[in-house]
């Protein structure tokens, strides 16, 4: 199963979940904070769609491990 076949969130969706800006989520990636993410190769992402994805099961595990309760649920 590839990343594109699993349930995932984009950076914008994750930012909305935590009521943060997309820039904050991108900064988390740079400094090594936040849930695990995947960057799709250009050949796997449709043109104009986000390449960085957060798999739902990884996101939920990260939230549980770090005691994080999202502000906006699914």
Helix (H, G, I), strand (E, B), or coil: what is residue 44? coil
pLDDT for position 72: 86
Average pLDDT score, the chain: 90
Average the pLDDT over 16-45 and give the result: 94
Q: Per-domain residue ranges for the chain?
A: 6-65
In this prediction, residue 41 has a pLDDT band, given cuts at 50, 70 and 90, of: very high
Average the pLDDT over 6-35 and give the result: 94
Report the distance separating Cα 44 and Cα 5, nearest Å.
11
pLDDT for position 5: 52
Average the pLDDT over 34-60 and give the result: 92
Could you tell me the two tokens for 18?
């935590």
Average the pLDDT over 46-72 and give the result: 93
């Amino acid at each position: 199963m590839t990343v594109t076949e699993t349930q995932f969130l984009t950076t914008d969706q994750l930012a909305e979940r935590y009521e943060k800006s997309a820039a904050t989520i991108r900064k988390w990636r740079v400094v090594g904070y936040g849930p695990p993410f995947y960057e799709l190769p250009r050949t796997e992402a449709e043109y104009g769609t986000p390449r960085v994805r957060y798999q739902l099961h990884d996101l939920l595990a990260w939230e549980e491990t770090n005691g994080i309760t999202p502000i906006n649920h699914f």
